[in-house]
Structure 1
Amino acid sequence: MTYSIIGTGSVGLTLAGFFAKNSIPVRVANTRGLSAVASSIDGLGDAVKPSAIEDALDADIIFFAVQFLNFKDVGKLRSDWSGKIVVDVTNSAFLPPEVQERELQGRLSSEVNADRIPGAKLVKAFNQLPMQGLTAPVPAGGRRVIFISSDHGDASAAVALLTHDLGFAPIEIGKIAEGGRLIQARNALVFQNLVKF
Structure 2
Amino acid sequence: MSYAIIGFGAIGQALAHAFARKNIDVTVASRRPPEALTPQARAIGPRVIAKSLRNALEADTIILAIPFGEHREVAKALPSWEGKTVIDATNAFGVLPEELDSLPSSAFVAKAFTGAKLVKGFNHLITATLATDPVVEGGHRVVFLSSDDEDAIGPVADLSKQLGFAPVELGKLNEGGALTHARGRIWGQLIFQDLFKKEQ
What is the TM-score when the length of structure 2 is the normalising length? 0.92
Partner of 2:56: 56
Shift of 1:102: 5.6
Give the AA of the match of 1:141.
G
Which range moved further: 27-36 or 109-118?
27-36
CA contact (8 A) 1:6 1:66 kept: yes
Q: After superposition, what is the alpha-carbon deviation per residue over 1:105-155, rounded to whole angstroms, capped at 9, x for unaligned? A: 311111110001000000000011111122356531110000000111121
Q: In the aligned structure 1, how far is the partner of 2:27 from the partner of 2:168?
A: 25
Q: 1:100 is matched with which residue?
A: 96
Offset from partner CA, 1:49-77 (integer Å, 9 cap, x none): 11111111011110011000001110111
Q: Which of 147, 152, 156 matches 1:150?
A: 147
Structure 2 gap ranges (5+): none
Give 3-state SS (helix, strand or coil) of 2:96's partner: helix
2:126 equivalent to 1:125: no
Match of 2:19 in 1: 19
- Residue 111 of structure 2 corresponds to which residue in structure 1? 115
Q: Does 1:34 align with 2:34?
A: yes
1:196 aligns with 2:197: yes
Question: Percent identical across equivalent pairs?
Answer: 44
CA separation in 2, counterparts of 1:139 and 1:45?
22
Number of equivalent positions: 193
1:175 and 2:176 aligned: no
Moved more, 103-112 or 171-180: 103-112
Gaps of 5+ in 1: none
- Aligned residue for 1:119, secondary structure, equals coil
Q: Residue in 2 aligned with 1:47?
A: 47
Q: Is the 8 A contact 1:61 1:84 kept in 2?
A: yes
**Deviation string for 1:146-175 (max 9, x for gaps)?**
000011112111100000000100011111
Structure 2: which amino acid aligns with 1:45?
G
Q: Which runs of 4+ in 1 moved over 6 A?
A: none
